[in-house]
């Protein structure tokens, strides 16, 4: 399977240019074509399209988009085939260096050199990057053998090498959990996964399938406080933390290992959004977007992990179709004006995307909770809509569908999103 | 003296002192070799320091280190003009936080004036606040010294080394000197013979610039007259967001053992705070510690209250090589031809050009003839920095060589052509590539470029990927799935070796005929 295609000829002008060909970029391309954009260019800096999916060789994708469970590369393949069928120009091994607010896109690639194309609309779909050691300040030596879990995943799954022979994993994000299992399958000893918080930060299914099923210990409320090894990592010091997450050094212990994988979170890779002048949301780390996924810079849309870190590629694909649709509509002159009813994160809600919606069209509102609620939970959109779910955890993104009819009687300009324990009375029904 | 086949000068240690000396020697008709223990030059303390070219006022001129501080500062301007590395004369403010510190400022000012340091001015609080509004309100007086500068020490060392090589110096890495033969009774005036695990070299003159291990090297030569202990300094780099917090180097009043914790605007525009000064038994101990961080931030906040531990983006430590005399150990020894450049503690970076000039005089006094080359090329050939070029220049480069359109590091926008150039200039490790090109120094800290750099290093150096390291030694990055990775055999026969195993100078290099 090779997900590359050289554009026959890079045109000098496109209706829509999409930066990044992960699930977000590919779905945005399809959305734009569906909306009638004739010339669409999809650019990715990797040699193949697919984004992070290419290194996710485990099953767990497609349950929503295709009603079956497939691997990341298979998921990417299905979208890529549609992209090619739809006559989208694809430039892989191409890096978008800059997007000027007028829609001029500067890019470089060995096949086209350093050049520019004009875009009627741009969709930013650059994905997310991993947080690194610098973000958490672990004192000690600076040996080789300390790397992010995602880099290790690439080294193992795409390049065919191992990051080491005896590994400790810091952080229980999904990538770390999945890598714990992968490494064991590759014959690497995984000593344990250490998590600062009192609950895992990855999906429950990954805790069960990747750790429990392989007898890999998960140490909650515990963190790495020292890194030792002059050339190669030799040992880490770990310590439990108190309620304020301060390490209790008196209870610290050493763990021999030659590899420390960091799975301590993703951050939207939103540099281009920032440089083009889009307003950023400090809660997500990504740009502020409207109901059509347009940033505050007219003509620049965004979708996927660059807006907020998603747990499922399926959600990314859905959201990105909306962005592609919006970009296509703008480029073809078919855009309808949007309202800006603001969505505010309320009780136990960490962030909400999109940041504004219109009452004249359907929206899917995504958000994450701050704290787990291990029982019936009410997801509430001010007093216009509510939905009851079995439980919520920060690891799992939650969505609310907002149909135009729900907003018929609403005349305000702010809606609040809460996620609160359901008291069994009036909150029985699930109106969605 | 006639013709001899020994190398004229072998320098032990490729830190800033060793390579600066080698470059100065490269202007003469001499056969010069630098032997460096590590995988690359400059991986010792020369890359792990504050990067300050001191103004010249700090050192007592009665000491060697104090006397060479100001001429060293002047020497850096010359080096900068020749080689064009990042160097900014940002100036320093020596500040007093209390009345009882005023005499210290007076003493240092007088000392600076005696040494001829120009531009010294006393600033009143109002002037201080105008120039540095983020300084603590507690600052009651300051001495302004405009001659202080900041460099990228590693970039400077590399360009100096590159230029030395361009002018005929040989730099051999992964060559720790492990023994020096005793003088040959049959030929007491003959060359010194140095041994590394894989080579033996004959040299008419040896300069010991082995940093923390210079005492051991001196002992190997039979002149172990001093010992060196380590004094560790931790440094903390703050987020780029804070660029401009201070625009000059801020010094507190010094104590007996250290210049104190400084707040430095680095050449790259980040703010650095540090160093600590902590004696260490382990000369290779470059760990950062919670205690070190606490100490640095407590001190830094007294100078600039807005500084916070939360803004740290990188941290490192370096170890100063402190001789028991507490001064530089510079000059000839009882062993004929063996010359020390040892105990180069702070301000060794600043003093390096003056140390080199001084050593050349010593070598000359010891009988080394200095005949200037007519074709010495003092200017450096600069690596291209694609990221800072205009779009037109970028397009032009890419049209000439598509590798300039092949992205390798996305945070710092480094292209394949730049990585290849770094490797061609001697980068052998990931750190070597990183410090030469900045690939891997950005926000994603190598998440994106590590694999590409590994591939390029392996390909250009003819190594398996598993043999590529972070910084030499056992710092491997990846291993094989089969786990059967064998280290390559490094003991291939070196060229130009005689039957006795002693390497001689390349034939045809004219020794200076006395
Ligand atoms: C380890 C791991 C396991 C996962 N497991 C699952 C799972 O089991 N099930 C599931 O549904 N989801 C899973 N996900 C989540 C899902 O893969 C992501 O949410 C999804 O890939 C995000 O899509 P994206 O298109 O926003 O970003 P990405 O997939 O990251 O794609 C972004 C693309 O943009 C390119 N790019 C960035 N900047 C530029 C530029 N300037 N110029 C050109 N190209 C650029 C990048 O090269 C990349 O290809 C997992 C994610 C990870 C990391
Ligand atoms: C935290 C800190 C901050 C500092 N800040 C400043 C500053 O701002 N300004 C300033 O002027 N100075 C500063 N200094 C001091 C300055 O960094 C040093 O004085 C200077 O770098 C010393 O250079 P060097 O070449 O002697 O040592 P090194 O760079 O250590 O070079 C010695 C080399 O010898 C090699 N070597 C050792 N043994 C052998 C052997 N047996 N065979 C072959 N090679 C060998 C080593 O590998 C090493 O590369 C600072 C020092 C520290 C620790």
Q: What is the DSSP letter of B283?
A: T
If you measure from the C-alpha of residue B284 to the centroid of ligand 1, how many angstroms do you get, rounded to a whole number?
41
The beta-carbon neighbor of A139 closest among B289, B405, B471 is B289
Given a cut of 90, whether residue B5 has pLDDT beyond it is no
Whether the CB-CB separation of A316 and A278 falls below 8 Å is answered with no
CA separation for the pair B435, A423 (Å, rounded): 59
Sign of the torsion angle spanned by Cα atoms A79, A85, A88, A94 = positive
Bridge partners, B66 (sequence order): none
pLDDT over 90 (residue B104): yes
Helix (H) or strand (E) holding A386: strand A385-389
pLDDT at A8: 60
Is the alpha carbon torsion for B44, B428, B312, A192 positive or negative?
negative
Q: Which residues of A fall within a CB distance of 8 Å from B37?
A: none
Give the integer Cα–Cα distance in Å for A334 and A120.
Answer: 13
Q: Residues, chain A, total?
A: 432
Is ligand 2 within 6 A of the CB of residue B267?
A: no
Q: Is the CB of A305 under 6 A from ligand 1?
A: yes
Residue A100 exposed, middle or buried by CB count within 10 Å (0-12, 13-18, 19+)? middle
Query: What's the pLDDT at A101?
Result: 80
3-state secondary structure B205-242: EEEECCHHHHHHHHHHCCCCCCCEEEEEEEEEEECHHH
Percent of chain A with pLDDT over 90: 89
Q: Taking the domains of chain B in order of start, what are their residue ranges?
A: 3-365, 387-504
The ligand 1 atom nearest the CA atom of A60: 8
Does the structure show a pLDDT above 70 at B257?
A: no
What is the position in ligand 2's atom list of the atom closest to the CA of B13? Answer: 34
Among A143, A145, A158, A153, smallest CA distance to A183 is for: A153
With 80 as the cut, is the pLDDT of residue B320 above it? Answer: yes
DSSP code for B38: S
pLDDT attached to residue A425: 52
DSSP B150: E
Band (pLDDT 50/70/90 cuts) for residue B505 is: low
The two three-digit tokens of residue B472, written as one number: 């030499």
Which are the contacts of A170, defined by CB distance < 8 A and separation ≥ 6? A176, A193, A194, A223, A224, A260, A261, A262, A263, A264
Closest CA to B32 of B10, B6, B1: B10
pLDDT in tens, B327-385: 999 999 999 999 999 999 999 999 999 999 999 999 999 999 999 999 999 998 889 99
Contact A183, A251 (CB under 8 A): no
Q: State residue A221's pLDDT score.
A: 97
Q: What is the dihedral of CA A285, A290, A294, A299, to 10 degrees?
A: -130
Of the pLDDT bands very low, low, confident and very high (cuts 50, 70, 90), residue A2 is low
Query: Counting every residue, how long is chain B?
Result: 514
Nearby residues of B231 by Cβ (< 8 Å), 6 or more positions away: B257, B277, B278, B279, B280, B319, B320, B322, B345
Residue A188 and residue A167 in contact, taking contact as beta carbons nearer than 8 Å? yes
Could you tell me the distance, in angstroms and rounded to a whole number, from the CA of residue B12 to the centre of ligand 2? 12
Question: Measured from the CA of B41, which atom of ligand 2 is nearest?
Answer: 49
Interval A408-421 mean pLDDT? 94
Q: What is the pLDDT of residue B495?
A: 40
Contact present, B222 and B335 (Cβ < 8 Å): yes
* Torsion of the alpha carbons at A383, A389, A394 and A399, rounded to the nearest 10: -60
- Vertex B341, ends B339 and B344: CA angle to 5°? 165
d(CA B8, CA B511): 7
Q: What is d(CA B73, CA B54) in angstroms, rounded to the nearest whole number?
A: 7
Q: Do the chains contact at A141 and B406, CB–CB below 8 Å?
A: no
- Chain B positions touching A143 (Cβ under 8 A) are 470, 475
Residues B385, B388, B389, CA angle at the centre, nearest 5°?
A: 90
Alpha helices in B328-414 (DSSP H): 348-365, 391-400
Min Cα separation B377/chain A (Å): 34
The reply to whether residue A113 touches residue B476, judged by beta carbons under 8 angstroms, is no
Nearest CA to ligand 2 atom 19: B348
DSSP-assigned beta bridge partners for residue A61: A70
Residue in B76, B210, B316, B327 to alter for ligand 2 test, most ligand atoms within 8 A of Cβ: B210
Q: CB of B44 closer than 6 A to ligand 2?
A: yes
CA of B15 to the centre of ligand 2 (A): 6
Expressed in angstroms and rounded, the spacing between residue A419 Cα and the centre of ligand 1 is: 27
**B447: Cβ–Cβ under 8 A, 6 or more apart, which residues?**
A129, A130, A132, A147, A148, A150, A151
Question: DSSP secondary-structure letter at A87?
Answer: T
C-alpha separations of B431 from A73, B32, B427, B457 in Å: 33, 26, 8, 11
| Per-residue pLDDT, A424 | 59
The percent of residues in chain B predicted with pLDDT above 90, rounded, is: 83
Torsion on CA atoms A82, A88, A91, A92, rounded to nearest 10? -10
Domain B387-504 top-level CATH class: mainly alpha
Residue A197 pLDDT > 60: yes
B64-91: average pLDDT = 96
How does residue B241 score in pLDDT terms, banded at 50, 70 and 90? confident
Q: Model confidence at A286, in pLDDT bands (50, 70, 90)?
A: very high
Candidate from A4, A10, A18, A20 with most ligand 1 atoms within 8 A of CB, to mutate: A20
The predicted pLDDT at position A6 comes to 62
Q: Which of A246, A257, A256, A204 is nearest to A223 (CA)?
A: A246
Which tokens sit at A248?
A: 């209790």
Cα–Cα distance for residue pair B457/B427, rounded to 1 Å: 8
Q: Is B95 in the pocket of ligand 2 (CB under 6 A)?
A: no
Which residue has the CA at smallest separation from atom 1 of ligand 2? B233
For A34, B30, B203, the CA distances from B23, given in Å and listed in that order, are: 65, 11, 18
pLDDT greater than 70 at residue A54: yes
3-state class percentages of chain A: helix first, strand second, coil last, to nearest 5: 25, 35, 45
Find residue B314's DSSP bridge partners: B237
CA of B16 to the centre of ligand 2 (A): 7
Find, among B322, B329, B402, B331, the residue nearest to B361 by Cα.
B331
Measured distance CA(B133)–CA(B129) in Å, rounded: 5
Q: How confident is the model at residue B255 (pLDDT cuts 50, 70, 90)?
A: confident
Q: What is the pLDDT of residue B456?
A: 98
Q: Which residues of B are catalytic?
A: 54
- What is the distance between the alpha carbons of residues A376 and A357, in angstroms, rounded to a whole number? 27
Span from the CA of B45 to the centroid of ligand 2 (angstroms): 4
> CA of A159: which chain B residue's CA is closest?
B451
Q: Quick one: which H or E segment has residue B486?
A: none
**Pairing relationship of beta strands A189-194 and A166-170 according to DSSP bridges:** parallel
Smallest Cα distance from B471 to chain A, Å:
8
Name the band, by pLDDT with cuts 50, 70 and 90, for residue B240. confident
| Cβ neighbours of A110 in B, within 8 Å | 402-403, 405-406
Q: What is the mean pLDDT of chain B?
A: 91
Q: Is the CB of A229 under 6 A from ligand 1?
A: no
- Angle CA A206–A207–A211, to nearest 5: 105
Q: Which residue of A has its CA nearest to B416?
A: A110
Closest-lying ligand 2 atom to the alpha carbon of residue B341:
26
Measured CA to CA, the distance from residue A9 to residue B328 in angstroms comes to 65
Q: Which residues of A touch B471 (CB under 8 A)?
A: 144, 231
Separation of alpha carbons B161 and A190, rounded Å: 43
Residue B182 C-alpha from the chain's centroid = 31
- Which of B442, B448, B456 should we substitute to test contact with A (largest number of A Cβ atoms within 10 Å)? B448
> Is the minimum distance from the CB of B50 to ligand 2 under 6 angstroms?
yes
Question: Stretch A316-339: mean pLDDT, rounded?
Answer: 96
Q: Are A213 and A236 in contact (CB under 8 A)?
A: no
Provide the CATH topology of domain B3-365.
FAD/NAD(P)-binding domain (3.50.50)
Q: What angle do CA B441, A231, B457 make, to 5 degrees?
A: 55
User: Ligand 1 pocket, A125 CB below 6 A?
Assistant: yes
For the four alpha carbons of A127, A132, A134 and A136, in that order, the dihedral sign comes to positive
B176, B319, B366, B460 from B10: Cα distances, Å: 13, 24, 15, 28
pLDDT of residue A322 exceeding 90, the answer is yes
pLDDT at A133: 81
Which residues does chain A have within 8 Å of residue B403's beta carbon, measured at their own beta carbons? 110
Strand pairing report for A161-162 and B479-480? antiparallel
pLDDT at B443: 79
* Closest approach of B405 to chain A, Cα-based (Å): 5
Distance in Å, alpha carbon of A9 to nearest chain B alpha carbon? 17
Is the Cβ atom of A7 under 6 angstroms away from ligand 1?
A: no
- pLDDT on residue B483: 57
Ligand 1 atom, smallest distance to A314 CA: 11
A53-74 burial string, b = 16+ CB within 10 Å, else e? bbbbbbebbbeebeeeebbbbb
Q: Cα–Cα distance between B12 and B337 in angstroms, integer?
A: 13
Nearest CA in chain B to A185: B481
Tokens of residue B231, six digits: 């004094």
Residues A202-236 pLDDT 10s: 988 999 999 999 999 999 999 999 999 999 999 99
pLDDT of residue B274: 95
Structure-block tokens of residue B108: 């240092």
> Are B21 and B45 spatial neighbours (Cβ–Cβ below 8 Å)?
no
Contact residues, chain A, for B485 at CB < 8 Å: none
Helices (H), B152-213: 153-166
pLDDT at position A45? 96
Collapsed DSSP state (helix, strand, coil) of residue B279: strand
Is the CB of A51 within 6 Å of ligand 1? yes
From B366, B84, B41, select the one nearest B209 (Cα to Cα).
Answer: B41
Span A372-385, average pLDDT: 94
A94-145 pLDDT tens trace: 999 999 988 999 999 999 999 999 999 999 999 999 998 877 889 899 999 9
Task: Kindly report the pTM of this predicted structure.
Answer: 0.89
Q: Which residue has the tokens 């892989």?
A: A92
Which residue's entry shows tokens 């990042």? B86
Instruction: Average the pLDDT over B13-37 and give the result.
Output: 98
Kindly state if the Cβ of A24 falls inside 6 Å of ligand 1.
Answer: yes
pLDDT of B513 above 70 = no
Q: Give the pLDDT mean for B80-103.
A: 95
CB B481 within 8 A of CB B465: no
Q: Looking up tokens 């590369």, which residue turns up?
A: A73
Asked whether residue B268 carries a pLDDT value surpassing 90, the answer given is no
Distance CA B72, CA B80 (A): 12
In chain A, residues with a C-beta closer than 8 Å to the C-beta of B312 are 134, 137
């Amino acid at each position: 399977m090779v997900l590359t295609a050289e554009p026959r000829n890079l045109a000098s002008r496109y209706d829509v240019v999409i930066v990044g060909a992960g699930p977000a970029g590919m779905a945005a391309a399809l959305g734009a074509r569906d909306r009638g954009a004739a010339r669409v260019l999809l650019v990715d800096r990797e040699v193949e399209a697919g984004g992070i999916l290419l290194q996710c060789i485990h099953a767990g994708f497609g349950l929503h988009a295709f009603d079956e469970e497939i691997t990341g590369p298979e998921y990417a393949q299905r979208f890529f085939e549609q992209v090619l069928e739809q006559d989208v120009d694809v430039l892989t091994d191409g890096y978008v260096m800059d997007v000027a607010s007028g829609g001029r896109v500067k890019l470089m690639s060995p096949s086209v050199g350093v050049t520019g194309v004009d875009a009627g609309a741009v969709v930013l779909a650059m994905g997310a990057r991993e947080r690194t050691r610098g973000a958490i300040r672990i004192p000690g030596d600076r040996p080789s053998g300390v790397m992010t879990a995602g880099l290790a995943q690439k080294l193992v799954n795409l390049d065919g090498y191992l990051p080491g022979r005896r590994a400790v994993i810091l952080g229980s994000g999904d990538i770390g959990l999945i890598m714990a299992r992968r490494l064991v399958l590759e014959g690497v000893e995984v000593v344990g996964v250490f998590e600062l918080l009192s609950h895992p930060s990855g999906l429950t299914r990954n805790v069960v399938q990747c750790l429990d099923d392989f007898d890999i210990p998960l140490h909650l409320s515990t963190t790495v406080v020292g890194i030792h090894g002059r050339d190669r990592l030799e040992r880490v010091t770990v310590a439990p933390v108190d309620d304020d997450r301060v390490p209790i050094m008196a209870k610290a212990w050493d763990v021999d290992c030659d590899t420390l994988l960091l799975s301590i979170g993703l951050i939207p890779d939103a540099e281009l959004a920032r440089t083009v002048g889009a307003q950023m949301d400090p809660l997500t780390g990504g740009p502020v977007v409207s109901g059509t996924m347009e940033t505050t810079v007219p003509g620049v849309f965004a979708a996927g992990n660059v807006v907020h870190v998603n747990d499922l590629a399926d959600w990314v694909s859905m959201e990105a179709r909306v962005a592609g649709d919006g970009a296509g509509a703008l480029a073809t002159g078919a855009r309808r004006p949007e309202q800006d009813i603001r969505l505010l994160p309320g009780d136990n809600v960490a962030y909400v995307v999109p940041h504004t919606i219109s009452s004249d069209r359907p929206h899917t509102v995504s958000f994450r909770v701050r704290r787990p609620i291990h029982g019936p939970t009410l997801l509430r959109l001010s007093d216009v809509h509510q939905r009851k779910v079995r439980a919520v955890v920060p690891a799992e993104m939650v969505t609310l569908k907002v149909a135009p009819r729900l907003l018929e009687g609403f005349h305000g300009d702010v809606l609040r999103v809460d996620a609160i324990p359901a008291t069994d009375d009036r909150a029985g029904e699930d109106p969605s | 003296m006639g013709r001899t086949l020994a190398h004229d000068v072998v320098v032990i240690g490729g830190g800033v002192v060793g390579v600066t000396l080698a470059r100065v020697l490269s202007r003469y008709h001499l056969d010069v070799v630098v032997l460096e223990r590590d995988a690359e030059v400059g991986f010792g303390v020369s890359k792990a320091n504050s990067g300050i070219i001191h103004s010249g006022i700090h050192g007592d001129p009665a000491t060697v280190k104090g006397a060479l501080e100001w001429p060293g500062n002047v020497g850096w301007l010359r080096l900068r003009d020749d080689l064009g590395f990042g160097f900014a004369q940002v100036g320093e403010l020596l500040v007093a936080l209390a009345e009882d510190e005023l005499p210290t400022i007076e003493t240092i000012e007088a000392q600076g004036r005696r040494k001829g340091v120009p531009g010294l001015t006393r600033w009143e609080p109002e002037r201080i606040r105008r120039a540095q509004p983020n300084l603590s309100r507690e600052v009651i007086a300051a001495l302004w010294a405009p001659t202080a500068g900041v460099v990228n020490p590693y970039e400077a060392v590399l360009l100096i080394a590159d230029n030395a090589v361009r002018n005929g110096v040989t730099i051999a890495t992964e060559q720790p000197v492990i023994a020096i033969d005793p003088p040959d009774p049959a030929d007491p005036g003959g060359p010194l013979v140095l041994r590394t695990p894989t080579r033996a070299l004959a040299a008419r003159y040896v300069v010991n610039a082995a940093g923390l291990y210079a005492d051991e090297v001196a002992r190997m030569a039979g002149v172990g007259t001093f010992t060196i202990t380590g004094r560790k300094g931790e440094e903390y780099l703050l987020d780029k967001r804070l660029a401009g917090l201070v625009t000059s180097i801020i010094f507190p009043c010094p104590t007996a053992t250290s210049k104190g914790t400084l707040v430095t605007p680095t050449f790259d525009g980040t703010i650095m705070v540090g160093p600590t000064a902590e004696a260490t038994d382990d000369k290779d101990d470059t760990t950062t510690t919670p205690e070190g961080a606490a100490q640095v931030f407590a001190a830094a906040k007294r100078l600039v209250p807005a500084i916070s531990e939360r803004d740290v983006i990188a941290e490192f430590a370096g170890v100063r090589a402190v001789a028991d005399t507490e001064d530089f150990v510079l000059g000839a020894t009882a062993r004929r031809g063996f010359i020390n450049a040892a105990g180069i503690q702070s301000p060794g970076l600043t003093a390096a050009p003056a140390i080199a000039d001084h050593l050349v005089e010593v070598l000359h006094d010891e009988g080394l003839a200095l005949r200037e080359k007519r074709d010495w090329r003092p200017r450096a050939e600069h690596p291209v920095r694609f990221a800072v070029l205009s779009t037109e220049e970028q397009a032009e480069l890419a049209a000439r060589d598509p590798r300039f359109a092949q992205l390798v590091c996305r945070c710092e926008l480094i292209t394949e052509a730049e990585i290849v150039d770094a490797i061609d200039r001697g980068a052998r490790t990931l750190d070597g590539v990183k410090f030469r090109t900045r690939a891997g120094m950005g926000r994603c800290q190598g998440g994106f470029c590590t694999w590409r750099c590994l591939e390029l290093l392996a390909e250009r150096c003819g190594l398996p990927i598993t043999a590529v390291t972070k910084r030499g030694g056992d710092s491997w990055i990846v291993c094989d799935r089969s786990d059967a990775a064998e280290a390559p055999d490094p003991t291939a026969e070196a060229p130009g070796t005689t039957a006795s195993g002693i390497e001689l100078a390349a034939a045809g290099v004219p020794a200076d005929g006395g």
